[in-house]
Amino acid sequence: MHILIIGAAGMVGRKLTDRLVKDKTLGGQEISALTLVDVVAPAKPAGFAGAVETITADLSAPGEAEKLAAKRPDTIFHLAAIVSGEAEADFDKGYRINLDGTRFLFEAIRQQGVQQRYAPRVVFTSSIAVFGAPFPDKIDDEFFSTPLTSYGTQKAIGELLLNDYSRKGFFDGIGIRLPTICVRPGKPNKAASGFFSNILREPLSGQEAVLPVSPEVRHWFASPRAAVGFLVHAATIDTARLGWRRNLSLPGLSATVGEEIEALRRVGGDKAVNLIRHEPDATIGKIVDGWARDFDASRAESLGFKAERSMDEIIRAHVEDELGGKIGG
């Protein structure tokens, strides 16, 4: 099996690569080749016996999607995107990367199948940002998409394209709406949701963090560990079970910022909590106010998708996976 990961240098892309290398198989098939693509050079994974190709490319640039589709991979993970805050701040870049890149990829796959049958599994990472207020208490998969950000709009269009290209048989697609991934390792990025991780990650390493919103803000979370599990499961699921609805809201945990902080206290103590400094940011607050807070993910759960049940679990996963089980700077 040949697997293509677009966005392989990102946090989730790197962790997905590591998981596939460790597992050596996907859906019972041996992984013989990996093609890893990003706008910065992805690292070659250690310990993989098959062929590995790393490519530095912008999916939205003319001709790049065609080159990747010409390799005819069996499974394609499309993770590439710019994040919410950046897409909102730079309208042109957001549509070029998040929409044009996605459409170019889907169309390149379709063209590969014109001469000779080719219909790979395509896993597209969407977002809960496709939904906009006003919200019910819990959002299910039947709730209408009315995104209130450019990022959410770009992802919603990608979902519609994935449905249509799958309906026509051009590829076998599944779109997964990821919760906000927390705790993200590394340094803060330009995502408006970044503070959800920052207020846990930095204090756990003995560093100060800024909280730009009220502790009453509620959001939908899953860990990086769960995100990789989502992707692997999406690549192997029987898509006939999806029917014509190819996009899913995935399981997660609904929690307030205050509940995050109390879980941090239980895991890291008062010393960690005291490193959080509250500095309200009206711009971030406005963006966050338009985000969904809780979901009914029973459809995805019935299909075998799983996530954490508590914020303590999410924090402990970060401590185990990123901090070697140790807390503090």
CA-wise closest residue to 161 among 110, 225, 91: 110
Q: What is the pLDDT along the chain (329 residues), one digit of tens a residue?
A: 999 999 999 999 999 999 999 999 999 999 999 999 999 999 999 999 999 999 999 999 999 999 999 999 999 999 999 988 899 899 999 999 999 999 999 999 999 999 789 999 999 999 999 998 889 999 999 899 999 889 999 999 999 999 999 999 999 999 999 999 999 998 877 777 899 999 999 999 999 999 999 999 999 999 999 999 999 999 999 999 999 999 999 999 999 999 999 999 999 999 999 999 999 999 888 888 878 899 999 999 999 999 999 999 999 999 999 999 888 75
CB 327 within 8 A of CB 315: no
In angstroms, the CA 159 to CA 247 distance is 7
Q: In this structure, is residue 101 part of a structural domain?
A: yes
Domain region containing 110: 2-179+222-249
Distance CA 217, CA 211 (A): 11
Question: Does residue 244 lie in a domain region?
Answer: yes
Yes or no: say if 291 and 128 are a contact pair by the CB < 8 Å rule: yes
> Number of folded domains in the chain?
1
Is residue 236 domain-resident? yes
302 contacts: CB under 8 Å, gap ≥ 6:
none
Residue 162 belongs to a domain: yes
CA 116 to chain centre: 32
Q: Is residue 267 part of a domain?
A: no
β-pair type (25-26, 29-30) = antiparallel
pLDDT at 152: 93
pLDDT of the residue at 188? 75
In a domain, 88, yes or no: yes
User: Residues in the chain, how many?
Assistant: 329
Report which of 28, 94, 98, 89 is spatially closest to residue 59, judged by C-alpha positions.
Answer: 98
Measured distance CA(256)–CA(247) in Å, rounded: 26
Q: Is residue 265 part of a domain?
A: no
Tokens of 170: 């051009």
35: nearest Cα among 79, 80, 2, 64: 2
User: Which positions are annotated as active-site residues?
Assistant: 151
Distance (Å, rounded) from C-alpha 187 to C-alpha 203? 13
Structural domain includes residue 306: no
Residue 124: give its domain's CATH number: 3.40.50.720
pLDDT computed for residue 191 by the predictor: 76
pLDDT of res. 318: 96
CA dist 248 and 241 (Å) reads 12
Yes or no: say if 252 and 175 are a contact pair by the CB < 8 Å rule.
Answer: no
Amino acid symbol at 163: N
pLDDT score at 329:
58
